[in-house]
Amino acid sequence: MDKYVCTLCGYVYDPAVGDPDGGIAPGTKFEDIPDDWSCPVCGAGKADFAKEN
């Protein structure tokens, strides 16, 4: 599963960890996160994330 980076603040979404505080269970693929989810660090939208190289 791919990790995704917030292009605004640099936070990395790791599917293995998820974002439990934001209601995203560990093991959730980035693609499966709801569109209204936002970066837990800076509040950027899902569209502001890019696949980690």
Partner 1 sequence: MPVTEIKKDIYWVGIVDWNIHDFHGYSKSPQGTTYNAYLVIDDKITLFDSVPAKFQMDLYHQVRSIIPLEKIDYIVCNHIEPDHAGAMPFLMEKIRPEKVFCSKMGHRMLLDHFHQPDWPYHPVQTGDSISLGKRTVQFLETRMLHWPDSMFSYIPEDRLLISNDAFGQNIASSERFDDEIDLAMLMAASSHYYHNIVLPYSQRVTAVLDEVEKLGLQIDMIAPDHGIIWRSNVPLILQAYRDYATQKPNAKAVIVYDTMWHSTEKMAKAIAEGLMEEGVAVKIMHLKQYHHSDVMGELADATGIICGSPTHNNGILPLVADFLTYMKGLRPVGRVGAAFASFGWSGESLNILNDWLKSAKIEVIEPGVKSKNVPDHAKLAECKDLGRQVAMAIKAKVAADA
Q: Give the nearest distance from C-beta 1 to partner 1 in angstroms.
A: 25
Alpha-carbon Rg of the chain, whole angstroms? 10
Tell whether residue 48 is a contact of partner 1 (CB under 8 A): yes
Contacts of 6 (CB under 8 A, 6+ apart): 12, 13, 39, 41, 42, 44, 48, 49
Binding segment for partner 1 (CB under 8 A), chosen from 12-20, 26-34, 35-43, is 35-43
Q: Which is nearer to partner 1, 1 or 41 (CB)?
A: 41
Binding site for partner 1 (CB under 8 A): 8-9, 41-44, 48
